[in-house]
Structure 1
């Protein structure tokens, strides 16, 4: 175990709002061992930015890690050539060109259809009625699993997320994760003959065409679902909420002084949908006055890095005019999120302009408070709103 100073947290309070504790850690113990998480956590942006690239020290390869055990050995848990080979095979499905030429059009069609159904209602929980189905329908296309219901895409994604963040070993959480991965495997099996006969730009199709081993295909599609559903879902709902609670920022967009992409980038900095990325210490290492030993577990806290006072002025403030260049919401090293381009398109090109154009007089429903939670993955749990139908 590392000799990092110990920093205790209240787990329930940390889930409800991790930012006060993270701010204290950045100030008092920027590299600290948190007994409640059984991990050494990095909380300052520049430390994370430099050390995440040291894959020889802080390895993504975690044979006994929850993601490997529950979802299979995917590219996020590989380093070097092994990681790059699988990332390169997937790239044609999520490249900027494919997003521009294929996915944006399909994302827009899903957004328009959902809003056509939603607009006459006058009120809804936008987490469930808009962000969830839009993200899931888009992800069905991108993964190639168009045989799934969008409800299953979201439920199975959440079950896997809960499973890989199940550091307390809850058996019910683990069982739900196993059920989800079994469902995804069945969906993959059903779609293999379809995309084999009619190849397309989906992840399943391009991985099959690249000759990837079936176990890698399964693992990487589960990876895409575990992150590709909750992150844009949470960014869509969260950015809408941020703008509704900061009408001055929404006015900047409507006035042409900020773009929808600025909203997305600032929201991802302000409340990073992925708040943490785990690593395994591969060999002895000393950094920042802390000695690390092999097999120590390290958490790079992206949510803390993006509120680092050394890099962002008034970091707790939501400001769409902010320079977000130092944000590491999508990671900083070789594991930079492969789906970043698709997420930006879904949120900034389709969801945000669509919702504010179609739902006139959009406002929070004062009868029900908005709830938000999580630290490894953080997002809104509901978004009750009204509009002029």
Structure 2
């Protein structure tokens, strides 16, 4: 283990709300070894911003890591040229231009259909009934796995992210993850001949056109699903819930004084849907007085970095009027999320503005439950509106 000071957590409490522990670590032991996670956690933004780029020491290559073992060695678990090559192969499917010209209209069409179905009901759970299918339909199109139902895709994503965060080794969690990856493989096998006959802009198709081996395509599709479903799903439901909980800020948006892009940026800063990224120590290293040995595990805690008071005033406060541009919710180094443009378009240009425009009198209809530390978001978000 590293020579970092030891910080003990209660795992259940940390899952329910990691921010108090992260604040104490950031203030007193900004690099801390947490025995319950068997990892050394970085909690200050500047240290994470610097060290995430130092791939010679803090490597994404983790042959024995949970993600690699459960989902295959995707491009997130590669560094340098190997990572860059696969990232370039995926780029045509998720580039800003492709998102603008190809995907955004599809996102709007799907969101409109879901809202038309919801509108007469007068009440729903935003997470389950709106954010989940909106995000899942977008991801079905992006990946090319249109034979998966939204529920299958959402369930597979959740099972995989639970598996990747299963640091306590729960066998039931691992079993669910294995079932999910097998289901995705079956849908990939079904889609491959269709994409061979009619290539398109989907991730599956562009990776096939680039000549990526099928085993690698499987791993990268699973990567796209594991992060590409929960992050926009949780940002849609979470940002809507946050605005409804802060009506004075919602009023600023409705008046046009604050744009939806700033709502999105502040939400992913305040409640980072992807709360951390793991790294393997590749060689002996010392940083800020802490010595690291090869093969140790490090967690860069994005959720802690995004509430660092050195960069954000009153960081625990949701405030869409602040400048949140210093957030690193999508990473800070060479592994900056490839799907960031698609996520921003889906959430800030489509899902949120269409939701508030379509459902008149949208309001909270009960308490929301928030959970998770590696991946965090609303488990439910009950709302009501004026049906008709």
* TM-score, normalized by the shorter chain, greater than 0.5: yes
Corresponding position of 1:96: 96
2:294 match: secondary structure = coil
Corresponding position of 1:30: 30
Measure the CA separation in 2 of the matches of 1:322 and 1:56. Answer: 35
Corresponding position of 1:158: 158
Corresponding position of 2:78: 78
Corresponding position of 1:275: 275
Deviation at 1:9, TM superposition (A): 1.0
Tell me, yes or no, if structure 1 residue 206 matches structure 2 residue 206. yes
1:381 match: secondary structure = strand
2:205 match: secondary structure = helix
Deviation at 1:371, TM superposition (A): 0.3
Does the Cα contact within 8 Å between 2:52 and 2:332 map onto a contact in 1?
yes
> Which segments of structure 1 move beyond 2 Å, counting only runs of 4 or more?
none
Measure the CA separation in 2 of the matches of 1:178 and 1:296. Answer: 26
Deviation at 1:196, TM superposition (A): 0.9
> Which among 377, 384, 387 is matched to residue 385 of structure 2?
387
1:178 match: secondary structure = helix
Aligned pairs for 1:355-366 within 5 A: 355-366=355-366
Tell me, yes or no, if structure 1 residue 181 matches structure 2 residue 181. yes
Measure the CA separation in 2 of the matches of 1:326 and 1:98. Answer: 26
Deviation at 1:383, TM superposition (A): 0.6
Unaligned runs of 5+ in 1: none
Corresponding position of 1:374: 372
Alpha-carbon RMSD across the aligned residues, in angstroms, is 0.5
Measure the CA separation in 2 of the matches of 1:82 and 1:46. Answer: 27
- 1:298-322 deviation digits (Å, cap 9, x = unpaired): 0000000000000101101111111
Measure the CA separation in 1 of the matches of 2:349 and 2:189. Answer: 32
Deviation at 1:56, TM superposition (A): 0.2
Corresponding position of 2:108: 108
- 1:177-215 deviation digits (Å, cap 9, x = unpaired): 110000000000000010111110000000000000111
1:62 match: secondary structure = coil
1:322 match: secondary structure = coil
1:311 match: secondary structure = coil
1:40 match: secondary structure = strand
Corresponding position of 2:302: 302
Deviation at 1:254, TM superposition (A): 1.0
Corresponding position of 2:15: 15
Deviation at 1:53, TM superposition (A): 0.2
Measure the CA separation in 2 of the matches of 1:243 and 1:18. Answer: 22
